[in-house]
Structure formats: structure tokens, C-alpha cells
Amino acid sequence: DTEVTQTPKHLVMGMTNKKSLKCEQHMGHRAMYWYKQKAKKPPELMFVYSYEKLSINESVPSRFSPECPNSSLLNLHLHALQPEDSALYLCASSQERIGGSPNYGYTFGSGTRLTVV
Amino acid sequence: GEDVEQSLFLSVREGDSSVINCTYTDSSSTYLYWYKQEPGAGLQLLTYIFSNMDMKQDQRLTVLLNKKDKHLSLRIADTQTGDSAIYFCAESEDNYGQNFVFGPGTRLSVLP
């Protein structure tokens, strides 16, 4: 299995809703990431988990709450979002650096397209 | 801070070669990458190159790196309609993506 699976593929939510995005990988990767991608823009890093611990939080508003229950799963909990949060949310995973090996296997999921109404 | 620049659009005819260019500012960039994103999909790693290499070839893809000018290019030979996508150049100082800087993406349109 060489994939990162994200669910749901599409999500429409109101500004008062609570929802969660899910990401799963079974490649043994110990680093997992959330990115946000607005239309016609490159992805922007939101969160990095390394060995199930949050290692980087790129000043993301608290209405986005990540969770890494185990090494294969990554969630992004959403609450009280704004219409400007509508975007494609991408999950990725990778190996940790192993002696500088280039085979880090950085892999993106297909994303969840989120629309906040 | 680091910056990665790309031209935003490129149109080529099917069967021709495509050349997508990228410039970056970070002298400490160690790894440079090309990602492909098809409509509604995630990013697919096409290829990467270390900063101590000048060229890397992988089937129809050729990556050229001019480290002095901080210029990276991706050449796609015999471009097909299935190559139509957005191509992102990215750089990082490490090889596990925690410090990726992406360019704005080049939208490649392949005309029949």
C-alpha cells in the first residue's frame, strides 16, 4: 500500500458545524502533515506531526485542531469555520530522515475539498 | 525569506517538448522537486534532484539544475494530453518536507 487516503473527498459545512477530516496511511511513515490549498495557489503547510507528536504549527487559527491518534491516522477537527476557510485540504506523509536517504517517500493524498457556507 | 518563482501558464502542442522553468532564492536549498497536480487531485511527486547534481533524466522527464543561477527546469518530451496539469516546483533544505517552499505552479495546457 503506497497511498495516503483522505476522507471525505468533498465536504460542505455551515459556520456553526463541527466536522472532521481524516487521513490514513499504511506505509509505516512516522511524519504526517496537513496542508491547505486555495484555488490556483500552492499548498501551504498547516501542521506537522512527527512520531505522533505535533512538531510544527504554522500559526493556524484554533478553529482548526489536529489530532494524531496513532502513527497511521491523522485527523483535522473543524469548528466555527469561516467562508474563507473553503479550500482543498491535503494530507501528506513521509519517512523521517534516515541517514540522508532520498527515499523519504513523501506522499500526498488526493485531498478533501471543503466548502464553508 | 525563501522564494520560488514560476511562469504561470504554458501551452504546447501534443508531441512537442514542454519546458517548465523555476527560479529560487534560497542558497541552502538541498533538494529540489517537481510535483504534478491534476484537477481535483493531490500532488504527485514527479522527480527530485539534489543540489549537487546538474541533470537527472527519468523516461520522458529531464530536470536541469543551474545552481549558480538558482534555476531549475523540467523538460517533458513528447508531451501528451494526459500531461495537462499544474506543475509545482518546490525546494527544501531537508528531505522530509518540513521546510518545503512551493512555487505558484505552472498550468500546462496540451493542445491536440
CA distance A5 to A90: 10
Of B43, B96, B102, the CB nearest to A94: B96
CA distance readout (Å), B96 to A82, A88, A96, B51, B59: 31, 22, 6, 15, 25
Strand blocks (E) in A1-117: 4-7, 10-13, 18-25, 31-37, 44-50, 53-57, 64-70, 73-79, 87-94, 107-108, 112-116
As beta bridge partners, residue A108 has: A92
What value does the mean pLDDT take over residues B76-98? 86
Q: Give the pLDDT of residue B108.
A: 97
Q: Give the pLDDT of residue A100.
A: 42
CA distance readout (Å), A107 to A84, A99, B49: 26, 19, 17
The answer to whether the CB atoms of A33 and B97 lie below 8 A apart is: yes
Note the pLDDT tens digit of each residue in B54-75: 999 999 999 999 999 999 999 9
Higher pLDDT, B45 or A115: A115
With H, G, I as helix, E, B as strand and everything else as coil, classify residue A57. Answer: strand
CB pairs under 8 A between A and B: 61
Q: Give the pLDDT of residue B60.
A: 96
Cβ atoms of A10 and A29 closer than 8 Å: no
